[in-house]
Amino acid sequence: MKLSPYLAFAKKSFLSRSAYRFDHFMGILNTLLRIFIFWGIYLALYNGKSEVDGVTMTMVTTNFILSMGLSTVFCVNDFYLPNRIQNGSIANEMLLPVSIHGRMLADNLGNALFQLVFHFIPAVVISVLVIGIHAPASFAMFALFLLSAIFGYGVLWTISFALQMLAFWLINVWSIMTIKNVFINVLSGSMIPLWFMPDWMKGVLTFTPFSSIYFTPVQIYLGQLSVSEIIKGFGIQLLWILLFVILGKVLWRQGQKKLVVQGG
């Protein structure tokens, strides 16, 4: 499979975002506002205490700065396929000599790269200078954090990939995507660190795809996981990626049989 067409799609996605310069600053401002709002909330909750149940304020700030920063990069287009099914352009997409799934991924990767360069890095640098976060446990842990973050993006994208296939059967997938996003926001540890969850819930969430997106990378960054736990975390991330890819492929094959495009 030639990569050049997909690199071109990714480049086009990146450049299309670059055309709106005002959006660069608004994106950074939006990320900073969310970070500083959560910082204010947790400052009030901690009420001057250095730690609560063994979780320090610095650990909490590190969690939400990294998680919210990554969430700006992990900006997935949940409606790439549904929009094309609704307007009928899916027929033209299927005639192209490239994989539509590869094009979906390339489009998102181009957007993610733009978000990384113009939103994530500036917002996190400003947050670190003003608020401060834990330094990575070690250079090795930082490298593993980056790898886990890539896998976390893979989990998030494949969840969206599988759910988008439901557009073949549903008129509108907006409600499903909204529910998905609520689950991710609450159970991924980005808004409420999973350290504060009951032990039984933390044990359950460890095996769900949600904690794999943000919380696993943050734990690696902080050096909270042993080598065996890191390997286990990578295994869970890769397993969910594989399962959602298979589910999406199965739904894609079944959905094509139901596809009817009207008009011309």
The CA distance from 218 to 243, in Å, is 23
Check: pTM over 0.85? Answer yes or no: yes
Q: What digits encode the pLDDT tens for the residues 240-256? A: 999 999 999 999 999 88
* Cα of 67 vs its chain's centroid, Å: 9
Q: What is the DSSP letter of 164?
A: H
**DSSP notation for 40-53:** HHHHHHHTT-SEET
Angle subtended at Cα 243 by Cα 67 and Cα 255, rounded to the nearest 5 degrees: 110
What is the average pLDDT across 166-177? 91
How many other CB atoms are found less than 10 A from the CB of residue 77?
Answer: 16
Q: What digits encode the pLDDT tens for the residues 212-237? A: 999 999 999 999 999 999 999 999 99
Judge contact between 144 and 230, C-beta under 8 A.
yes
Q: If pLDDT is split at 50, 70 and 90, which confidence band does 1 have?
A: low
Q: Beta partners for 56?
A: 51
Q: Beta partners for 231?
A: none
Radius of gyration for the chain, computed over Cα atoms and rounded to the nearest angstrom: 20
